Amino acid sequence: LNTEAGVDKEEARYQNLVDRVNTTGRVWMGLTIGCAQCHTHKYDPLPHREYYAIMAMLNNADEPELDIPTPEVSAQREQRQQQIAALIDKLLTKAPADGFEKWLAVERERVIRWRPLRPATAKSNLPLLTVQDDDSVFVSGDITKTDTYELTFAPGAQPIAAVRLEAMPDDRLPAHGPGMTYYEGRKGDFFLGEFQLEADGQPVKFASANHSFAKLSIGGGAVSAALTIDGDPETGWSTATREGEPHHAVYRLEQPLTEAGELRLRMLFGRHYAASLGRFRIWVTDDPRANDAREMPAEIESLLLLADADLNPSQRDQLRRYYVQTSADLADERAELDRLKNLPAYPTTLVMHERPPENPRPTFIHKRGEFLQPTDEVEPGVFSSLHALPPGVEANRLGLARWLVARDNPLTSRVVVNRAWAAFFGLGLVRTVEDFGFQGAAPSHPELLDYLAVELMEDGWSMKRLHKRIVMSATYRQASRVTPELLELDPENVWLARGPRVRLDGEMIRDAALRASGLLSPKLGGPSVFPPQPPGVTTEGTYGKLNWNPSTGEDRYRRGLYTFSKRTAPFAMFTTFDGPTGEACLARRDVSNTPLQALTLMNDVVFQEAAQALGQRLAGHNAGSNAGQLDEDNAARLDELYRRVLSRRPNAAEQATLLGFFDAQRGRLEAGELDAAAILRDAPKIADLPQVDAKDAAAWTLVARIVLSLDEAITKH
């Protein structure tokens, strides 16, 4: 999500939708449907209008953040709650004997009897306002930078001297509200620019407006409830920095409404970012004393309105607990309580939530694909050149998913099978993995493609069974050796006369080296990690500096899947081996062969550490053998190295060359030409390894660097 300053929320959401439609088409249909964003596809039967019909199926979802109550954080919060309860009990014993009774008497004098007003109607320019059972209003859907809420209330019999706006937190809102701000500003904030009231069509004038809390300033300007009645929508009230809490603003009328007719309330929200209120409730009172907005919860106010005789023990205890948490008498003792109330935050994740049928989000055709040029509204639908939606399936995200995997769909199963085949053989049965349209290549083995596609569906779309079927086939298990005749007749192995010979992807190359060295962590899940890479990659010449602090311990050797990715500065080693940036969906990676790849294999920290680990393991292999067994043990060590890295034994020529190289490096180490400590500097610690000779480990490290750099080590044969 793009939350940069100045970003238009709706435009950013539109661009995300375009990416989703294009990615859906490429991943599941193997079609270049992105062309239809601007115009009807030039080659395939994909009309411009139907592109936006597909978009409409994806466009009716909201994307709130959801708290993830992990066991660790839940346990911490539970412990805090227990500490808070114990500390309140302790404060109850420390409270002055007559302090509570004095506080109770004062608060009963100050308390105002408010009554909630239930809206008869609630509407806005765009967001959906829904009246809740407790008379509050919950706001959902899209918000803009200039929202207007309008509520009407039926005539009441009682006079009105003041109106109170209660801004209410809600778990469905960003940062629990009470605001709906998500982009640019603080999550959960709001900015109320104007608060306008009419009675029987006539404006009602306010004498004053007070708040329970307001941010000190925004952009150097004051912020207060009083600025919501000054006629200037550019000034107003915000409670930023206190998200997830209730807040109040009290508006005292110049002249009480003695015969209140229909009331109409307008609230204007406007900033340079969308900052509307997410949940609120309107209260009124006929008490002329009403002026101050207080942070006191409504349930405490209701208890203060009861006489002593009407309070049961539980209610009285509730008042006492509130007293010790708020009274100035215990301010010093309450410092620890205030600290404990700052509970550890749950991690969050983005989810998608289908909007209610009564509030669908409209989707428009955009001329030339431009966000600022919407034209005709379209209904959700699918491409008419393909099969129709299955009977009884609604035109929404779930319906689109069912349409994609329907038996009538001629594309999805073939596209999935073809991509899997390309991953194993380096070339798909349809070589244009990303394009099954008229501009794409015809399948080399159409019957095989159809067979595998049908079997995939029959197997319940099990990718594991598909992979097993491919790798256990006689075709895949062929040797990858190529004769001059075959190379001339079929250089790309389209006709599958030999087994595949494919260079591994960058992530696999790194994982293979770590696996061979015994360093690869088997840990599953968790946050991204930061393996070592050259300094400056993420800080020089990139947008948004990122200090890359290499992970330590097990996280240093996690699978490449868990490596943190920055789109403007992707992981250097992966980029060297043709890894994508992640900026757009890529169905097929290019494979290059550059000197930088060889330099990376020899000098990158991960391969150095893999070689050091291998060197230590090999030096410890059969450690303690006598001198007569030295040559035999070195041959066994070289066998071990080859089995770990290349899954085979060395032939005689390889053995002679590498053992000769080992002897030469061992001699240089003995002569002091090479420094074993320098070669093994910062080497990973290998558990359960016997004491090894440092010079042996250094010499085997140099041998391991050669083997890890072989073409065979990074190529599937």
- What does residue 382 show for φ and ψ, rounded to 5 degrees? -125, 175
Cα separation, 239 vs 216, whole angstroms: 9
pLDDT class for 217, splitting at 50, 70, 90? confident
Residues 252, 206 contacting (CB under 8 angstroms): yes
pLDDT tens-digit readout, 515-548: 999 999 999 998 999 999 988 777 765 566 678 8
% of the chain surpassing 90 pLDDT: 73
Q: Output the average pLDDT for the chain.
A: 91
Cα separation, 44 vs 546, whole angstroms: 43
Tell me the two tokens of residue 537: 């990659």
Tell me the two tokens of residue 345: 């935050």
pLDDT class for 688, splitting at 50, 70, 90? confident
- Residue 627 has a pLDDT of 44
Tell me the two tokens of residue 249: 């603003």
Cα separation, 465 vs 462, whole angstroms: 5
Q: What is the mean pLDDT of residues 667-674?
A: 95
Contacts of 443 (CB under 8 A, 6+ apart): 418, 429, 430, 449
Contacts of 589 (CB under 8 A, 6+ apart): 505, 578, 579, 580
Greatest CA separation for the chain: 113
Given this structure, which CATH class describes domain 113-295? mainly beta
Cα separation, 540 vs 698, whole angstroms: 34
Indicate whether 623 pLDDT > 60: no
pLDDT tens-digit readout, 181-190: 987 788 999 9
Q: Where are the domains of the chain?
A: 1-63+350-403, 113-295, 411-500, 503-717
Indicate whether 591 pLDDT > 70: yes
Other Cβ atoms less than 10 A from the Cβ of 174: the count is 20
Cα separation, 488 vs 484, whole angstroms: 6
Q: Which amino acid is at 261?
A: G
Alpha carbon of residue 199 to chain centroid:
47
Indicate whether 200 pLDDT > 50: yes
User: What pTM, to 2 d.p., does this model score?
Assistant: 0.81
pLDDT class for 229, splitting at 50, 70, 90? very high
pLDDT tens-digit readout, 390-419: 888 999 999 999 999 999 999 999 999 999
SS (H, E, C) 423-480: HHHCCCCCCCCCCCCCCCCCCCCHHHHHHHHHHHHHCCCCHHHHHHHHHCCCCCCCCC
Alpha helices in 26-179 (DSSP H): 48-58, 71-94, 99-110
Following CA atoms 433, 434, 439, 441 in sequence, which dihedral angle do they give, to the nearest 10 degrees?
A: 0
